[in-house]
């Protein structure tokens, strides 16, 4: 692919940027009093207002031209039709097939994957119903009441985020816990008040070799068997979600209790694979299906809607505009719904493990910035901690506000306070408060500069009806596809994660050095000293 910075549309954007850079959001609203309704996409049940961005119609036109020049539409089709776009691992990328309706045909290596996806979904459904209605009993005959998902990265962040997001819809007679960290304290606290006789572990690991997950799975097995005695208990208290049947069986899990998936599902794209088993048990198969339908609706929107109304395309391109032209390093995600408290953490893996890349798909060093840093917290909590820096700091931080018109719990006045705050933050960021406006409030002159808000700080607002399983699915798919859009523009492979390997390998070297104090150390002087400190 042509170097991004040498493309015609990039050069056009650069030229445009130098004349446009100083235009403020206030100017843009003055120039066009319909901007607040024109820079809006209403698609797939999402109201997406991107009017408070530092873009004109011309900017958007040039960004869409960039997407076209980089072949976004053809790349998108390649993903949806199972081409091996994960070139470094020679794999298709078919998470979108996981939510395709029964009866559709999607080929990977010439083979329709949809029937096997639905076979796993049906198997999950049977199991989830048994757990939910108390039919799935433990080794001593007691119904399972506690479900502990053990996994890390994509085998944890999706399940825990979805459980928290959909807690309102979850079976309240069941307890859900999520263990990810190799720090034994995570496991110890998760099970401290649980009874092994009533506890089911879901060992979620695509590879079934991940150090953290295997260590926690062994701890869970020892904890269970301490009370239950016999190895035969493992079959009633452990199920696995994995692509590695051989290792699962070695662990002692009944092959009948393996929920499989495929190598064309990346870890951070796996929450709609069998990795979603804990979510399905929590909300039930019907509501889980509604979540999948929401994902599918967004997949279809992304696949078929023209670029200029396509929400993930617009989001992805705005990200490029700030990252590569304004030099913004980070992007805040600020859900105004407490159920979405783990959504920013989920997005961190999705966005940064995908697009934190330093070479192009062909292995050439990139000559431009990639991977924006994503972070955030639910509003209004963030307002009382880090929003100060977003409003008056020296850094440009585009923000995504996510809100719902209806609240799930009946406290309507608090819902008004919540949404008023979300809307007010976008307004304050964009338009600020001038020195004259501050003075009009009779402020002592020496305090005026401290109270000025320069504004011109961009944000998107996503408004949905309410936090349903389907709407959660739409939101996740929307970010998945915006990550894809950016990967195409930057010509990087968003579907491998080789940058996580080195640290894992070095840790394997250090483990025996910690355990055997006489082993000589041949690291650098800092690493040697740290190991020495621990050994003492």
Based on CB atoms, which residue is closest to ligand F6P, 152 or 452?
Answer: 152
Produce one character per residue of 519-535: b if its CB has 16 or more CB atoms within 10 Å, e if not. eeeeeeeeeeeebeeee
154 binds ligand F6P (CB under 6 A): yes
53 has catalytic annotation: no
State the catalytic residue, choosing from 353, 377, 480, 513.
353
CB 154 within 8 A of CB 347: no
- Return the structure tokens found at 462: 């996503």
CB 142 within 8 A of CB 198: yes
Q: Of residues 9, 149, 180, 210, which one binds ligand F6P by CB under 6 A?
A: 210
The span from the first CA to the last CA of the chain, in angstroms, equals 54
Produce one character per residue of 357-385: b if its CB has 16 or more CB atoms within 10 Å, e if not. beebbeeeebeeebbbebbbbbbbebbee
Q: How far is the CB of 154 from ligand F6P (least distance, A)?
A: 3
Q: How far is the CB of 212 from ligand F6P (least distance, A)?
A: 8
207 binds ligand F6P (CB under 6 A): yes
278 binds ligand F6P (CB under 6 A): no
319 binds ligand F6P (CB under 6 A): no
Q: How far is the CB of 181 from ligand F6P (least distance, A)?
A: 13
- Give the separation between CA 484 and CA 445, rounded to whole angstroms: 50
351 binds ligand F6P (CB under 6 A): no
- Give the separation between CA 205 and CA 211, rounded to whole angstroms: 10
Taking alpha carbons only, the member of 292, 343, 237, 347 closest to residue 125 is: 292
Q: Of residues 236, 268, 357, 481, which one binds ligand F6P by CB under 6 A?
A: 268
Q: Of residues 51, 96, 146, 205, which one binds ligand F6P by CB under 6 A?
A: 205
Based on CB atoms, which residue is closest to ligand F6P, 28 or 152?
Answer: 152
296 has catalytic annotation: no
Residue nearest to ligand F6P (CB): 267
Based on CB atoms, which residue is closest to ligand F6P, 151 or 312?
Answer: 151
Q: How far is the CB of 87 from ligand F6P (least distance, A)?
A: 17
**Looking at 203-211, 223-231, 288-296, 410-418, which segment touches ligand F6P (CB under 6 A)?**
203-211
Q: Of residues 66, 100, 131, 152, which one binds ligand F6P by CB under 6 A?
A: 152
Q: Of residues 52, 75, 99, 206, which one binds ligand F6P by CB under 6 A?
A: 206
All residues at 6 or more sequence positions from 523 whose CB lies less than 8 Å from its CB, including other chains = 531
Residues 472-501 that bind ligand F6P (CB under 6 A): 497, 500
- Give the separation between CA 240 and CA 360, rounded to whole angstroms: 36
415 binds ligand F6P (CB under 6 A): no
Based on CB atoms, which residue is closest to ligand F6P, 187 or 431?
Answer: 187
- Give the separation between CA 95 and CA 158, rounded to whole angstroms: 13
Binding mask 123-142 for ligand F6P (x = CB under 6 A): --------------------
11 has catalytic annotation: no
CB 438 within 8 A of CB 452: yes
Taking alpha carbons only, the member of 159, 476, 184, 437 closest to residue 484 is: 476
Q: What are phi and psi of 202, to 5 degrees?
A: -105, 110
User: What is the strand order of the sheet 258-260 is part of?
Assistant: 175-179, 146-150, 199-204, 238-242, 258-260
Where does this chain bind ligand F6P (CB under 6 A)? 152-155, 205-207, 210, 213, 267-268, 353, 497, 500
Question: Which residues are catalytically annotated?
Answer: 353, 384, 504
């Amino acid at each position: 692919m042509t170097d991004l910075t040498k493309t015609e549309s990039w050069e056009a954007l650069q030229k445009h940027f130098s004349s446009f850079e100083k235009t403020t959001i206030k100017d843009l609203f003055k120039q066009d009093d319909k901007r607040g309704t024109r820079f809006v996409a209403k698609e797939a049940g999402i109201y997406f207002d991107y009017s408070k961005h530092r873009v004109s119609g011309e900017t958007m036109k040039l960004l869409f031209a960039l997407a076209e020049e980089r072949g976004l539409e053809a790349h998108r089709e390649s993903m949806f039709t199972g081409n091996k776009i994960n070139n470094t691992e020679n794999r298709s990328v078919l998470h979108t097939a996981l939510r395709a309706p029964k009866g559709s045909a999607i080929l990977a290596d010439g083979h329709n994957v949809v029937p096997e996806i639905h076979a796993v979904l049906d198997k999950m459904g049977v199991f989830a119903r048994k757990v939910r209605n108390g039919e799935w009993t433990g080794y001593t005959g007691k119904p399972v009441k506690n479900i502990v998902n053990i996994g890390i990265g994509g085998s944890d962040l999706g399940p825990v985020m979805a459980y928290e997001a959909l807690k309102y819809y979850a079976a309240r007679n069941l307890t859900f816990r999520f263990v990810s960290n190799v720090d034994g304290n995570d496991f110890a606290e998760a099970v401290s008040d649980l009874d092994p006789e009533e506890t089911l572990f879901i060992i979620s690991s695509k590879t079934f070799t991940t150090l953290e997950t295997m260590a926690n799975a062994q701890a869970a097995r020892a904890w269970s068997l301490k009370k239950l005695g016999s190895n035969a208990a493992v079959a009633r208290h452990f199920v696995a979600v994995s692509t590695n049947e051989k290792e699962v069986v070695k662990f002692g899990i009944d092959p009948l209790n393996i929920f499989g998936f495929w190598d064309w599902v990346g870890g951070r794209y796996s929450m709609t694979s069998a990795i979603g088993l804990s979510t399905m048990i929590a909300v039930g198969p019907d509501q889980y299906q509604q979540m999948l339908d929401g994902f599918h609706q967004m997949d279809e929107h992304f696949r078929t809607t023209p670029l200029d109304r396509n929400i993930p395309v617009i989001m992805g391109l705005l990200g490029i505009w700030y990252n590569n032209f304004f030099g913004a390093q980070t992007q805040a995600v600020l859900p105004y719904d407490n159920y979405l408290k783990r959504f920013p953490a989920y997005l961190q893996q999705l966005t940064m493990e995908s697009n934190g890349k330093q070479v192009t798909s062909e292995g050439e060093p990139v000559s431009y910035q990639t991977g924006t840093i994503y972070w955030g917290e639910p509003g209004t909590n963030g307002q009382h901690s880090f929003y100060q820096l977003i409003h008056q700091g020296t850094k440009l931080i585009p923000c995504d506000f996510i809100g719902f018109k209806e609240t799930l719990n009946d406290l309507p006045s608090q819902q008004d306070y919540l949404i008023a705050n979300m809307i007010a933050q976008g307004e304050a960021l964009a338009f600020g408060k001038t020195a004259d406006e501050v003075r009009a409030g009779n402020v002592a002159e020496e305090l005026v500069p401290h109270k000025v808000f320069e504004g011109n700080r961009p944000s998107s607002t996503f408004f949905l009806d309410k936090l349903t399983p389907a709407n959660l699915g739409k939101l996740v798919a929307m970010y998945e596809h915006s990550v894809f859009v950016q990967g195409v523009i930057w010509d990087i492979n968003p579907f491998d994660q080789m940058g996580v390997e080195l640290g894992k390998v070095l840790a394997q070297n250090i483990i025996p050095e910690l355990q055997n104090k006489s082993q000589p150390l041949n690291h650098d002087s800092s690493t040697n000293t740290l190991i020495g400190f621990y050994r003492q």
